[in-house]
């Protein structure tokens, strides 16, 4: 998910939702999201909640990167990619993202990434 700061700088968000409980486990905020950011976030969540059977995601570069695929394989976690151009296959995440945008992102003008992190975490 993406937005921008009041000065136009990029704001990227990695939203991790539990498919079974629909609980938002994490929203990582930064200027960009690299494969290493995905790996660190998922590692932290595995430590907190245990290992999932699979990770469902879209086909964004941060999820399809060789480093992430290798990490998932080494952790014995199956990647489950939705079909390109088929957001309805991940409908509960799309619904969550829409709610985040409507309830927070469209109402706030973040002056910094630090401010965005605090307000987004408070909203979560």
Query: Domain extents for the chain?
Result: 2-51+88-123
DSSP 77: -
pLDDT tens per residue, range 101-115:
999 999 999 999 999
| C-beta neighbour count of 14 within 10 angstroms | 19
Q: Is the pTM of this model over 0.75?
A: yes
Which of helix, strand or coil describes residue 118? Answer: helix
Q: What is the rounded CA–CA span in Å between residue 3 and residue 105? A: 7
pLDDT tens per residue, range 45-63:
999 999 999 999 998 889 9
């Amino acid at each position: 998910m993406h937005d921008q700061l009041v000065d136009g700088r990029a704001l990227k968000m990695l939203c991790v939702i539990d498919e079974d409980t629909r609980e938002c486990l994490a929203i990582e905020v930064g200027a960009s999201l690299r494969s290493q950011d995905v790996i660190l976030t998922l590692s932290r969540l595995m430590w907190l909640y245990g290992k999932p059977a699979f990770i469902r995601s879209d086909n964004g570069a941060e999820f399809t990167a060789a480093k992430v695929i290798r990490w998932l394989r080494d952790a014995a976690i199956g990647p489950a990619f939705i079909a390109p151009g088929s957001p309805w296959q991940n409908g509960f995440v799309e619904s969550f993202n829409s709610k985040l945008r409507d309830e927070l992102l469209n109402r706030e003008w973040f002056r910094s990434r630090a401010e965005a992190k605090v307000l987004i975490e408070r909203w979560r």
